[in-house]
Amino acid sequence: MSGAQKLRDKVAVITGATSGLALASAVRFIQEGAYVFITGRRQDALDAAVKLLGPNARGVRGDASDMDDLDRLFHVVHAERGSIDVLFASAGAGFWANLGSITEEQVDATFRVNVRGTLFTVQKSLPLLNPGASIILTGSIAAQRAFAGLSVYGASKAALRSLIRHWIVELKDRNIRINILSPGSIDTAALAPLSEEMRQHLRDLAPMGRLGEPDDVATAALFLASDDSRYVTGTELFVDGGAGQI
Q: What are the residue numbers of the active site?
A: 153
Neighbours of 30 (CB within 10 A): 19
Residues in the chain: 246
